[in-house]
């Protein structure tokens, strides 16, 4: 009698084709990423491309780690926005500050991490691991931000999304004058109406320069409550179908929310806390994000948020418990994973129409207020 085949042997047989010089990135992922973290990266590529980019899904991206100075804004993040694959963003201020270097024509260079930092300091060279740039890059970028925030439109309290939108307008204008384009994430987000929030606006050189101008009487101030409520409103609008139903003669239908988390830290918490804000604090009926994709090198057993799993997030209401099969954590450096995921998505999925969520923040806040007005938590 033949032995019954175990249900655990139903997975794809490991028998890849030999790699050739003609293989594409997408084919390499599908054919050769068979096990271990390579298999998780393949799962990440497939989750992002086959489910998170669905027509009814709103995709939020969180960014930590020094990704823009490594060129990943230009190589990966900007193409994702241009393809309509990213709808809203939470970023560290540092990534946006270093992104601005490229948009105003300043240069960063490949270096070597083994060089003496004492010597680099003497030669006024700043180092981010193996990225080198002249100290004047910091001073020139500081000057750029101080100059633009003197403008009349900045003399008020605002959300970080409005601040970054205005900054993106000026960076884009500088790009035009320099004869360059698509070098700055801020500028492209401005053009495509992608709102960018910063969970800790004072924790970067941008915030430091805002603080310096405040000493001179500048009226610019960030409103963190607006950030908390606007991001929650975006997620609620996505889940209620208010984002995706508008193009179908105003018909509203249910939608989905996806989070794409690069690294961890404060931006990870800020993008995930949108659901507890909706459910726990505002008392609005919701179940959590539908798709969860994280690229991280942080361990879960140390108790830090950066390594917390999507299963743990279920207990907070951050992730829909019924959607845990649609959650992938890939333990790999974002500088490796992000270009691969970007290349895979662009090869396997057609562009989506940009949602221009920045332009609709008021509409989404009205929806949030409407549902909150019916809540017993008021």
Active-site residues, by number, are: 318
Residue closest to 65 by CA, chosen among 98, 113, 42: 98
Residue closest to 281 by CA, chosen among 241, 328, 319, 316: 316
Q: How is residue 153 written in tokens?
A: 């439109």
> Cα–Cα distances in Å, from 302 out to 44, 51, 80, 96, 201?
24, 31, 32, 29, 27
Q: What order do you get walking across the sheet with 327-331 strand by strand?
A: 196-197, 88-91, 57-63, 256-262, 291-296, 327-331
Asked whether the beta carbons of 237 and 279 are under 8 A apart, the reply is no
Three-state DSSP state, 116: coil
Asked whether the beta carbons of 362 and 39 are under 8 A apart, the reply is no
């Amino acid at each position: 009698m033949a032995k019954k085949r175990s249900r655990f042997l139903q997975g794809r047989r490991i028998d890849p084709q030999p790699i050739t010089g003609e293989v594409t990135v997408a084919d390499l992922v599908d054919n050769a990423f068979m096990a271990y973290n390579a298999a998780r990266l393949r799962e990440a590529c497939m989750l992002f491309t086959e489910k998170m980019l669905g027509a009814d899904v709103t995709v939020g991206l969180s960014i930590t780690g020094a990704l823009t100075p490594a060129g990943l804004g230009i190589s990966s993040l900007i193409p994702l926005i241009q393809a309509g694959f990213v709808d809203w963003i939470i970023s560290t201020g540092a990534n946006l500050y270093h992104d601005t270097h490229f948009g105003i024509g300043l240069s960063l260079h490949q270096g070597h991490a083994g060089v003496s930092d004492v010597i680099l300091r003497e030669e006024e060279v700043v180092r981010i691991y193996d990225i080198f740039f002249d100290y004047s890059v910091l001073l020139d970028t500081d000057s750029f931000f101080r100059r633009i925030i003197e403008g009349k439109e900045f003399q008020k309290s605002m959300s970080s999304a409005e601040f970054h939108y205005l900054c993106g307008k000026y960076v884009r204008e500088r790009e035009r004058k320099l004869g360059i384009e698509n070098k700055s994430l801020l500028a492209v987000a401005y053009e495509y109406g992608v709102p960018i929030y910063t969970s800790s606006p004072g924790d970067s050189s941008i915030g430091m320069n805002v603080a310096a101008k405040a000493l001179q009487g500048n009226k610019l101030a960030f409103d963190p409550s607006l950030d908390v409520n606007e991001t929650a409103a975006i997620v609620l609008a996505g889940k209620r179908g208010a984002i995706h139903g508008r193009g179908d003669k105003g018909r509203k239908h249910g939608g989905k929310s996806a989070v794409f988390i690069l690294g961890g830290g404060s931006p990870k918490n800020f993008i995930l806390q949108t659901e507890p804000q909706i459910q726990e604090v505002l008392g609005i009926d919701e179940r959590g994000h539908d798709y969860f994709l994280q690229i991280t090198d942080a361990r879960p057993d140390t108790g830090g948020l950066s390594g917390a799993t999507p299963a743990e997030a279920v207990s907070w209401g951050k992730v829909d418990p019924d959607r845990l099969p649609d959650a992938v954590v890939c333990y790999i450096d974002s500088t490796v994973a992000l270009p691969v995921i970007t290349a895979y998505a662009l090869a396997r999925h057609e562009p989506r129409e940009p949602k221009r969520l920045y332009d609709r923040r008021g509409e989404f806040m009205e929806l949030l207020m409407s549902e909150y007005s019916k809540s017993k938590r008021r």
